[in-house]
């Protein structure tokens, strides 16, 4: 555990220290960028924070490669180099989009290339955790891996609409995912607790926490496309790597770690972004617009328009993310007969807190008419 905490600290420090540098650079490059209708801030803010986040992750990987404790993780250098190459592509695509606002199909092509880079490096979805269905076809493995990477990157991008929202939700999800992966590593081998997915989540957590002080309301800088995509990449790769770990450990996966966790936990981590993505596609398609076009119909916009302050909306979405992610992980530690009623009460309480200002706002709108 101490090694992972050290690496979180490395990623945190690099991200935290480099973010102000990227802010100054961003103000020079794109300080005059016009506001869009869906933006909630009142003045232009640079978007190059994702560069600092990527630097934090890469710095952590570099330090990790020198630590004997993680020799098993770096025994397959192709997979690690694949993530590094994918992060480099994200850096190019994200910065280009933040500066020049690329067409959606150009970004989609770039995201597909990122997914293919991961798949051809050896990180592939070889089994479906539900029913543990093996995928023997190599082309199908590549297609599914690429699809998962692209889907996760876009889900995170869709939720990146309020100061600190995406970084905070990603940090919550990464913390929950790290706990699960570390538990899995201890279950697999009591003498070797090194784990690829745990490493990626530790670095993502540190990088997001380092960026968040500069991004929380009122934000001084945004993560931009590169930040959203690197979060999606790390989440997707960790998910795929976890399924590979458990697929290779058939005899142990039903003991201390529930067999359904590899599919439930990643879904829980990105549940809100994924729901927002699906609703946005349905909403835009129904209006005859491209599903990749932008609007103010996201969940965070609804909360702000419904009476929440900027910070209140972000904190409320943090609450939901923490309940879903950590609630899912809790099934590894507590008796479900006790945990389920407790979670039900917490979810009802969160729902009441969420709906109360919205109902008050709707009632005030009716009275005004």
| Residue 215 assigned ligand-binding role | no
SS3 of 287-325: CCCCCCCCCCCCHHHHHHHCCCCHHHHHHHHHHHHHHHH
Question: By C-alpha distance, which of 337, 365, 200 is closest to 269?
Answer: 200
CA 79/CA 123 separation, integer angstroms: 6
Helix axes 271-286, 310-329, angle to 10 degrees: 120
Distance separating alpha carbons of residues 73 and 131, to the nearest angstrom:
27
Gap between the Cα atoms of 31 and 130, Å rounded = 48
- The contacts of residue 242 (CB under 8 Å, 6+ apart) are 180, 181, 184, 197, 262, 266
CA atoms of 181 and 22, how far apart (whole Å):
32
| Cα angle, residue 50 at apex, residues 48 and 54 outer, rounded to 5° | 130
Residue in the structure block whose two tokens are 């570099």: 62
224: phi then psi, degrees, rounded to nearest 5: 70, -170
Burial (CB < 10 A; 0-12, 13-18, 19+), residue 58, is buried
Q: How far apart are CA 342 and CA 276, in angstroms?
A: 26
318-322-325-330 Cα dihedral, nearest 10 degrees: 180
Cα separation of 259 and 169, whole Å?
25
Reduced DSSP (H G I as helix, E B as strand, rest coil) percent helix, strand, coil of the chain, to 5: 75, 0, 25
Q: Which residues are annotated as a binding site for Mg(2+)?
A: 157
Q: Which residues are annotated as a binding site?
A: 157
């Amino acid at each position: 555990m101490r090694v992972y905490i050290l690496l979180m600290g490395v990623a945190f420090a690099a991200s935290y220290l480099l973010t102000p540098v990227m802010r100054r650079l961003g103000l020079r490059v794109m300080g005059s960028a016009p506001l869009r209708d869906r933006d909630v801030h009142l003045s232009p803010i640079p978007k190059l924070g994702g560069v600092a986040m990527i630097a934090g992750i890469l710095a952590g990987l570099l330090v990790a490669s020198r630590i004997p404790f993680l020799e098993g993780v770096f025994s397959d250098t192709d997979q690690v180099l694949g993530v590094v190459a994918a992060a480099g592509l994200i850096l190019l695509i994200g910065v280009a989009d933040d500066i020049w606002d690329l067409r959606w199909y150009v970004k989609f092509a770039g995201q597909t290339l990122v997914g293919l880079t991961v798949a051809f490096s050896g990180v592939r979805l070889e089994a479906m955790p539900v029913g543990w269905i093996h995928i023997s076809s190599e082309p199908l493995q590549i297609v599914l891996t690429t699809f998962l990477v692209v889907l996760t990157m876009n889900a995170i991008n869709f939720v990146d609409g309020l100061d600190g929202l995406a970084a905070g939700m990603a940090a919550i999800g990464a913390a929950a995912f790290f706990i699960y992966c570390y538990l899995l590593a201890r279950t697999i081998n009591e003498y070797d607790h090194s784990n690829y997915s745990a490493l990626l989540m530790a670095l993502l957590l540190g990088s997001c926490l380092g960026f968040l002080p500069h991004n929380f309301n009122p934000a001084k800088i945004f993560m931009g496309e590169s930040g959203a995509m690197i979060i999606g990449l790390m989440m997707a790769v960790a998910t795929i790597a976890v399924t590979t770990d458990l697929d290779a450990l058939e005899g142990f996966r039903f003991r201390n770690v529930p067999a359904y966790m590899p599919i439930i936990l990643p879904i829980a981590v990105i549940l809100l972004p994924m729901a927002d993505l699906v609703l946005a596609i349905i909403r835009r398609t129904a209006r005859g617009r491209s599903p990749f076009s932008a609007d103010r119909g996201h969940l965070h916009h609804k909360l702000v328009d419904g009476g929440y302050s900027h910070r209140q909306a972000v904190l409320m979405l943090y609450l939901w993310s923490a309940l879903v992610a950590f609630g899912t992980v809790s099934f590894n530690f507590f008796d479900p007969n006790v945990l389920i009623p407790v979670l039900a009460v917490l979810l009802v309480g969160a729902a009441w807190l969420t709906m109360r200002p919205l109902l008050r706002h709707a009632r005030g709108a009716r009275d005004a008419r």
